[in-house]
Amino acid sequence: MRLQQHKSWNEIKTNDSWAIFKVMGEFVTGFERMSKIGPCVSIFGSARTKTDDKYYTLAVEIAKAIVESGYGVITGGGPGIMEAGNKGAKLAKGTSVGLNIDLPFEQHDNPYIDSDKSLDFDYFFVRKVMFVKYSQGFVVMPGGFGTLDELFEAITLIQTNKIEKFPIILVGSSYWKGLVEWIKKTLRDEYKTISQKDLDLIHTVDSPEEVTAILDAFYKQYQLSPNF
C-alpha cells in the first residue's frame, strides 16, 4: 500500500511537469492573437448580472463610449457584465474581445465577441496576463471575488512597478463606496500599509462620459502600448 501511494505521487509530479507545455501553449496562442487587437480597455464585472439590471445597461453604454473614443473592448467572455461589455462594443462596431475561462459553472462564451477574437483558457493566471498586457485601462463594474481579484492584482502590479501604470476606473459609486472608504481610512490613514500614491490612479465614476474623460486625459500624457 505504501509503495502504491509513492507511485501515485511520482505520477502526479510527472503530470505537473508536462502541464508546463500546456501553459506555454496558452501563452503563445494568447500573445500571437492579442498582439493584433490594437488599443483596448478591459471591462470587468459579475457574470451573474441580469440583462434587466441597471449595471448591465450601463456597461453596454460604457463599452459603446469606449469604442467611440477609439479603443476596443476586452472582457472575460462570459455572461452578465462581460456580455454587456462585448454587446456595447459590437453595437458601436468596435473590436470586441473575449478571454473565456473554462469553469464547471456559470461561464460560457457570449454571442457578442468577434469570431476571431474569442480565446479560451484553462489557467486563470495566463488569462490575467492577457488582460494586463493588452489593456490600456481597467473599467471595473460591480462584481464578486473574481472582479476584486483582477482589480487588486492590477493595483499591486502598478504599485510594485511590474507594469506601467494605466487608469483603473470603478463604476458605481454606491457599490464601491464602502470598499474605497475602508481602503483610505484603514489601509492608508490608520495602518499606513499603503500610500496616497497607490490610490492616485483609482477613480470612482457613474457615467460613460466620466470613463472616457479619464481615459482621454491619461493618454494625452502617455503613449498607447502593451504594458510590458
> By C-alpha distance, which of 125, 63, 57 is closest to 88?
63
Looking at per-residue pLDDT, the higher value among 105 and 175 belongs to 175
Please report which residue ranges of 35-139 form alpha helices under DSSP H: 54-68, 81-91, 124-133
pLDDT tens-digit profile of 166-187?
999 999 999 999 999 999 999 9
- Side-chain half-sphere CA neighbours of 1 within 13 A: 0
Do residues 141 and 172 lie in contact, with contact meaning Cβ atoms separated by under 8 Å? yes
Mean pLDDT on 99-114 = 85
Give the Cα separation of 125 and 130 in Å (integer): 9
Query: Which residue in this structure is represented by grid cell 481597467?
Result: 138
Pick from 20-34, 58-72, 160-174, 214-228: least confident: 214-228
Query: Which residue in this structure is represented by grid cell 451573474?
Result: 48
Q: pLDDT class for 18, splitting at 50, 70, 90?
A: confident
Q: Is residue 94's pLDDT more than 70? A: yes
Q: Is residue 52's pLDDT more than 70? A: yes
Phi-psi region of 119 (alpha: psi -120 to 50; beta: other; left: phi over 0): beta
Q: Is residue 1's pLDDT more than 80? A: no
Grouping H, G, I as helix, E, B as strand and the rest as coil, residue 39 is coil
- Domains in the chain and their CATH numbers? 2-218 (3.40.50.450)
According to the model, what pLDDT value does residue 228 have? 41
pLDDT tens-digit profile of 60-69?
999 999 999 9
Q: Is residue 36's pLDDT more than 80? A: yes
Q: What is the dihedral of CA 221, 226, 227, 228, to 10 degrees?
A: -130
> By C-alpha distance, which of 2, 62, 55 is closest to 207?
62
CA 199 to chain centre: 18
According to the model, what pLDDT value does residue 189 have? 98
> By C-alpha distance, which of 50, 33, 55, 54 is closest to 113?
33
Q: Is residue 105's pLDDT more than 90? A: no
Angle between the N-to-C axes of helices 208-218 and 54-68, in degrees from 0 to 180, rounded to the nearest 10: 40
* φ, ψ at 218 (rounded to 5°): -65, -45
Percent of the chain residues topping a pLDDT of 70: 91
Q: Is residue 5's pLDDT more than 60? A: no
